[in-house]
Amino acid sequence: MAKRSGGMISGMSEKDALTVGDIRDAIEKLSDDVEIDFGSTLEGRRLHFYRFKTRGKKLLGIELREELPDIG
């Protein structure tokens, strides 16, 4: 299925890989100050960006971390 430039990416199957091109197309019309939200775990803890890590010539890992609960 062809992806629209600037469109939402969703419903990808496990066989489909998300590519840098997909991300570029999805965000090309956004301004540089738009924040990115990674959502939350099933337990409701927010996910935060941790780092990008190259894992091969054609693989970039985007690592997230969970917001830790307050331990009063």
Query: What are the CA-CA distances from residue 57 to residues 1, 18, 53 (Å)?
Result: 26, 15, 11
How confident is the model over 8-62, as pLDDT tens digits? 676 666 667 888 988 898 899 999 999 999 999 999 999 999 999 999 999 999 9
CA atoms within 13 A on the CB side of 6: 4
- Dihedral, CA of residue 32, residue 37, residue 38 and residue 44, to nearest 10: 170
Q: Which residue has the higher pLDDT, 2 or 12?
A: 12
Q: Where are the domains of the chain?
A: 1-34, 35-72
Q: What tokens does 14 get?
A: 């496990």
> Whole-model pTM?
0.65
Strands (E), 1-72: 47-56, 59-66
